[in-house]
Structure 1
Amino acid sequence: MASQSPIPVLVNGAAGKMGREVVKAVSQAQDMTLIGAVDRNPDYFGQDAGELAGCGTLEVPITNDFEPMLALTSQERQPGVMVDFTHPDGVYDNIRSAIAYGVRPVVGTTGLSPQQIQDLAEFADKASTGCLLVPNFSIGMVLLQQAAIQASQYFDHVEIIELHHNQKADAPSGTAIQTAQMLAELGKPFNPPGVTETEKLAGARGCQAEEGIRIHSIRLPGLIAHQEVIFGAPGQVYTLRHDTSDRACYMPGVLLAIRKVGQLKSLVYGLEKILA
């Protein structure tokens, strides 16, 4: 029996830190082929995506021709995949364009509003096209979230601290928002007030997500991506923490998403939904 053709992959945001890691991972995966590399930074136009990513010459130049590259990806024998690590300002349009071309989006860019996600879900349903929105591709973060759900059954007080590099454009992080949403789905209110609080400086207590869960965002050079979920009860504190020291930690999740998205016919939110 003949082997299946490699999955054609277009990387959008290929010159960014995450994009370069994706280019490297895709080029090294035997069941994938890098079809194109798109970025809007003119400093990188024409450069070989593989050389920029540090994995050798791939003969795939970085271009700003997003829609022509989508069209090219859609013409491959296998259903094509677009991996997007770009910017919150443009990711909604990127996803809609990919779906319109029949290219499956795998999206790590965060910052979409709930209404935008709903609109994209409806668009993907009508097109019967799989789409994966993944706030965090780390398997360790999925395990942290599962542990937080378990702990939340026994603790009534919880706050989330997320720490990222100072080039991250959106706050709170999509991962922190997703974690709060997962805890809120239990249907119990958290953090019953013990006192009337007064913020002497606006925002001192962070933002308030669903069910009274507070999220605090830190942005500093030297950080990559980190999250703490802190539970409190009389006489004890239970802290769950995930730290990222190298963006390579996300690549097993990215490759898994690329392999799985072709089996979907609708939008799916979160890496945990596709884990076996």
Structure 2
Amino acid sequence: MTIKIAIAGARGRMGTAAVQAINEASDMELVAILDYKYEGMYLHGSDVTDTPGGVPIYETLESLTADTLPDVLLELTNPDAVYKNMHDALTYGIRPVVGTSGLSLKSISQLAELADEKRIGGIIAPNFSIGAVLMMKFSAMAARYLNDVEIIEMHHDQKIDAPSGTAMKTAEMIMDVREPHCQGHPGEKETEEGARGADIDGMKIHSVRLPGFLAHQQVLLGAPGEMLTIRHDSFDRKCFMPGVLLAIREVMKKESLIYGLENIIE
């Protein structure tokens, strides 16, 4: 069976890589693009023109669905658009696969309820990199024994949200196995606000935004006399594509919303 896919965010750097990966997959077909502009035009590779024969572009999911009936919406836009796009996809019977970060746990819970009601699968992946997912899983394993933890995530300077979805997902996975407690000196004081980073259940998360980075994270786990560092680096968006294709194939088998690629990787 060929999986029919629509992409929201196809003109971005992640979207461009996804278009190429899907076009090269023998079991997938890119049938439509959801965009905030260029209604009625066509995507040819990375170019938008009015020449027929490319992938048609739509400004609403309603018109896109009526014309193309995709199985999956790959959502790669921004935090402001992701909730509506996911909600609309589930409403129209389209399985969302989401790589956009910025969804709150409350929003995820609401979308999970809608997916259960519709009996439609969906996957939210804070990070599509298999290596990054393994980094998160290894960090949660280690935190059972070394439960003083700090996370440093480093991204390019055009990333809007902080902390990153990967850092938050890592912290949530560690929270499942770590007894909540405040780290550091009990009388610790910040002489400059924010110097110690965000506080998540007593853990600290630090966000770095600089040109030259893509996506990087290290998890520091400390204990008396030792420290374990678990680090992952993404140097090219190609590293996300195996996870994207895996999520698309897996979502076709599901009838509920899955939060985190670690739940479909053994």
* TM-score exceeds 0.5: yes
Alignment correspondent of 1:70: 65
Alignment correspondent of 1:202: 193
Q: Aligned pair 1:59/2:54, yes or no?
A: yes
Q: Percent identity?
A: 46
Distance 1:271 1:175 in 2: 11
Q: Aligned pair 1:265/2:255, yes or no?
A: yes
Q: Aligned pair 1:166/2:161, yes or no?
A: no
Match of residue 264, structure 2, among 248, 255, 274: 274
Distance 2:3 2:147 in 1: 46
Q: Which moved more, 1:27-36 or 1:192-201?
A: 192-201
Amino acid at match of 2:261: L
Q: Aligned pair 1:215/2:205, yes or no?
A: yes
1:182: how far off?
A: 0.4
Match of residue 48, structure 1, among 43, 47, 52: 43
The answer to whether the 8 Å contact 1:144/1:242 transfers is yes
SS of the residue 1:215 aligns to: strand
Indicate the structure with greater strand content. Answer: 2
SS of the residue 1:48 aligns to: strand
Distance 1:67 1:251 in 2: 27
Matched pairs, number? 263
Alignment correspondent of 1:248: 238
1:111: how far off?
A: 0.4
Distance 1:58 1:253 in 2: 29
Alignment correspondent of 1:92: 83
1:114: how far off?
A: 1.1
Amino acid at match of 1:141: A
Over 3 Å counting, the alpha-carbon distance change for 1:213 and 1:49 in structure 2 is farther
Amino acid at match of 1:7: I
Distance 2:237 2:94 in 1: 25
Distance 2:46 2:184 in 1: 55
1:81-120 deviations in Å (ceiling 9; x for gaps): 0000001111101001001110100000110111111110
The answer to whether the 8 Å contact 1:71/1:101 transfers is no
The answer to whether the 8 Å contact 1:158/1:191 transfers is no
Over 3 Å counting, the alpha-carbon distance change for 1:39 and 1:164 in structure 2 is same
Q: Aligned pair 1:152/2:114, yes or no?
A: no
1:235: how far off?
A: 2.4
Distance 1:224 1:245 in 2: 6
SS of the residue 2:233 aligns to: strand
Alignment correspondent of 2:26: 30
Match of residue 220, structure 2, among 207, 214, 230: 230
5+ long unaligned stretches in structure 2: none
Distance 1:254 1:247 in 2: 11
Q: What CA RMSD, in Å, does the superposition of the two structures yield over aligned residues?
A: 2.0
User: What is the TM-score of this pair, normalised by structure 1?
Assistant: 0.89
Q: Which moved more, 1:109-118 or 1:59-68?
A: 59-68
Q: Which moved more, 1:162-171 or 1:65-74?
A: 65-74
